Amino acid sequence: MVLSDLRLPDGNGVEFLREVAPRTGCAFVMMTAHATVASAVEALKLGAKDYLEKPFSLDRAVTTVRQALELTALRREVARRATAARWPHQRDRREPEMQEVFALLRRLAQADTATVLIEGRAGRARAPSRRRCTAWGRRASGPFVNVQCAALPRR
């Protein structure tokens, strides 16, 4: 878990986030007394779990950190179990391992987040997992947008 200020003595919190987040898998929460919409959007796009504007209450900070840690733990557990388990077309859906993966997907679908990234090797049924996660979430009645990251061009 990293709680970083936007303005750092030797740099910028967003640059720190851009450099460190992809390599660590840590949950990042940005905070600042100099909030702008642009810096908040950039931090969230880079993977920050939340953006706290100073002054903030201790309760708000504790809740934000707790949710970020829980979401990160859930994502790691889903990835770990999805990699370990064979997916429905390769194994029976009633197997205990698959039931555990489905239970984690249900919990993840209820988390207060707008973005979920499901990773895995080819043949691990990422798309059906994304559809299940959406169907079990609060936005089930909304549109399902499946983004194939591998098909996106690099900048």
Looking at the structure, do residues 26 and 100 belong to the same domain, yes or no? no
Four-point Cα dihedral 134, 91, 118, 153, nearest 10: -110
Residue 151 lies in a domain: yes
Looking at the structure, do residues 76 and 106 belong to the same domain, yes or no? yes
Tens of pLDDT, residue by residue over 56-81, are: 999 999 999 999 888 888 888 887 77
Looking at the structure, do residues 91 and 134 belong to the same domain, yes or no? yes
Residue 12 lies in a domain: yes
User: What residue numbers bound the domain in which 22 lies?
Assistant: 1-56
Please tell me the distance from the alpha carbon of residue 88 to that of residue 95, in angstroms, as a whole number.
Answer: 9
Residue 62 lies in a domain: no
Stretch 21-41: mean pLDDT: 86
Higher pLDDT, 118 or 87: 118
Weakest-pLDDT range from 64-78, 89-103, 121-135: 89-103
Percent of the chain at pLDDT exceeding 70? 85
Mean pLDDT of the chain: 80
In this prediction, residue 59 carries a pLDDT of: 94
Q: What's the pTM value of the predicted model, to 2 decimals?
A: 0.52
Q: How many CB atoms lie within 10 A of CB 53?
A: 14
Read off φ and ψ for residue 56, nearest 5 degrees.
Answer: -125, 155
Cis status of the peptide bond prior to 55, with omega within 30 of 0: yes
Q: How many CB atoms lie within 10 A of CB 155?
A: 3
Read off φ and ψ for residue 111, nearest 5 degrees.
Answer: -70, 150
Count of domains for the chain: 2
Residue 64 lies in a domain: no
